Homo-oligomer: A and B are copies of this chain.
């Protein structure tokens, strides 16, 4: 017995006026998703708790069966791990942006004109040469895609209790990093980060790459904005918890980081970009193939969330239909006598607000021994009538593992 869990980022929604008050899932043509609902057991799920908008990281932690409220330790470390940067226990990691600021350190563009990888590569190499005044602390700065980067600091007595330098808005000044409590560790970490921020700026502002960018009428990447201080959570790997060999197919480094932290094997799929242009067919093929050698495969699709954040109604419906097509291909190539397939979203993203919302998401599980209910369509409202009723995100993994005979008995 094996299981596939398909997580469509931000796919759930509220009723949309422009869709005659249907949700995008209700409006989309999605025979394969409906097939899962029709042959399976359905429900709704609060990733963290009713009304609490989850992040994609905390939601994925929950979906893997962990108590996110207890173990979640910030986004930065997941982002770093998912980008291939090693994060050790005690390290503090941040998500960073190359950005553009003026002489008064007012942010003009949070993405430095979506700087190309080539320029970012060169700048990151120069930054990595900086020597900190505190020799016991080391840092690692790595650019990932375009303006995105990660920063990891390593050394004794570091803390995640520090604020961001990223003001999250253009037109505002780069923020000084502040300790979030009165401990020595928080103050010490903030001091090191402010020193580093200053040194980053010093190197970047006169860097030849930026001088050439200005000549090419491109925005210079003269500042590094940091946010989301985090450490890797102390969690047992899925292999230890359930005795399963687990793999993750995800393009988004944040999700890859969560999956890596839970001991899953990260699978790279050519053409999987985490954008609406991602190769859905390649994702389907990879899922079917990986299932041959793994017990549990998590497939994460980012495209649905991109459309939601962009408040692009048409595109969100389109993305759901592409997901449906992908799911159809996966379904056609698995044996439902020995495979359970679950589909859900990691959170509701509202087309009306463009934000993550705390409304529950629909969930459907098909496979040989589920107590099939009479729900016929996979959407927020139909699934609310299903046999799973309303569960928490962290209940899903035990529910799936129970069907696989992999949960441990409590009691005798």
Contacts of A54 in B (CB 8 A): 409-411
Contact at B411–A369, with CB atoms within 8 Å? no
Q: Give Cα A391 to B372, complex, Å.
A: 20
Q: At the interface, is chain A mostly helix, strand, loop or mixed? A: loop
Contact at B391–A380, with CB atoms within 8 Å? no
Contact at B398–A371, with CB atoms within 8 Å? no
Contact at B412–A57, with CB atoms within 8 Å? yes
Q: Among A181-189, A216-224, A274-282, A349-357, which stretch is in contact with chain B?
A: A349-357
Contact bitstring A5-32, B, C-beta under 8 A = 1, else 0: 0000000001100000101000000000
Q: How far is the CB of A211 from chain B (nearest CB, A)?
A: 34
Q: Among A42-50, A137-145, A299-307, which stretch is in contact with chain B?
A: A42-50
A371 and B14 contact, Cβ closer than 8 Å, known pairs A358-B399, A402-B357: yes
Contact bitstring A74-95, B, C-beta under 8 A = 1, else 0: 1100000000000000000000
Q: Contacting A15 at CB < 8 Å: which of B50, B369, B384, B405? A: B369
Q: Give Cα A384 to B375, complex, Å.
A: 12
A395 in the interface, Cβ–Cβ < 8 Å? Answer: yes
Contacts of A402 in B (CB 8 A): 50-53, 357-359
Residue of B nearest to A358 (CB): B402
A373 in the interface, Cβ–Cβ < 8 Å? Answer: yes
Q: How far is the CB of A199 from chain B (nearest CB, A)?
A: 26
A249 in the interface, Cβ–Cβ < 8 Å? Answer: no
Contacts of A50 in B (CB 8 A): 391-392, 395, 398-399, 402
Q: Give Cα A410 to B347, complex, Å.
A: 11
Q: How far is the CB of A92 from chain B (nearest CB, A)?
A: 15
Contact at A353–B15, with CB atoms within 8 Å? no
Those of A359-383 within 8 Å (CB) of chain B: 359, 369-373, 380-381
Contact bitstring A32-65, B, C-beta under 8 A = 1, else 0: 0000000000001000111111111111010000
Q: Contacting A410 at CB < 8 Å: which of B68, B385, B390, B398? A: B68
Contact at A387–B387, with CB atoms within 8 Å? no
A397 in the interface, Cβ–Cβ < 8 Å? Answer: yes
A214 in the interface, Cβ–Cβ < 8 Å? Answer: no
Q: How far is the CB of A379 from chain B (nearest CB, A)?
A: 9
Contacts of A359 in B (CB 8 A): 371, 402
Contacts of A387 in B (CB 8 A): 44, 381, 384
A400 in the interface, Cβ–Cβ < 8 Å? Answer: yes
Contact at A398–B352, with CB atoms within 8 Å? no
Q: Give Cα A52 to B401, complex, Å.
A: 9
Contact bitstring A254-276, B, C-beta under 8 A = 1, else 0: 10000000000000000000000
Contact at B357–A412, with CB atoms within 8 Å? no
Q: Give Cα A392 to B355, complex, Å.
A: 25
A contact set with B: CB distance below 8 Å: 14-15, 21, 23, 44, 48-59, 61, 68-69, 72, 74-75, 228, 254, 350, 352-353, 355-359, 369-373, 380-381, 384-385, 387-392, 395, 397-402, 405, 407-412
20 more A-B residue pairs beyond the given contacts A14-B369, A23-B371, A68-B410, with a C-beta to C-beta distance below 8 A: A14-B370, A15-B370, A15-B371, A44-B389, A50-B391, A50-B398, A50-B399, A51-B399, A51-B400, A52-B410, A54-B409, A54-B411, A55-B409, A56-B411, A57-B412, A72-B410, A254-B412, A358-B399, A358-B402, A371-B384
16 A-B residue pairs with Cβ-Cβ distance under 8 Å, sorted by A, are A50-B398, A51-B398, A51-B407, A52-B402, A52-B408, A54-B409, A55-B412, A56-B411, A57-B411, A58-B412, A59-B411, A61-B411, A69-B410, A356-B409, A357-B402, A388-B390
- List the 4 closest A-B pairs by CB distance, nearest first: A55-B411, A58-B411, A51-B398, A358-B402
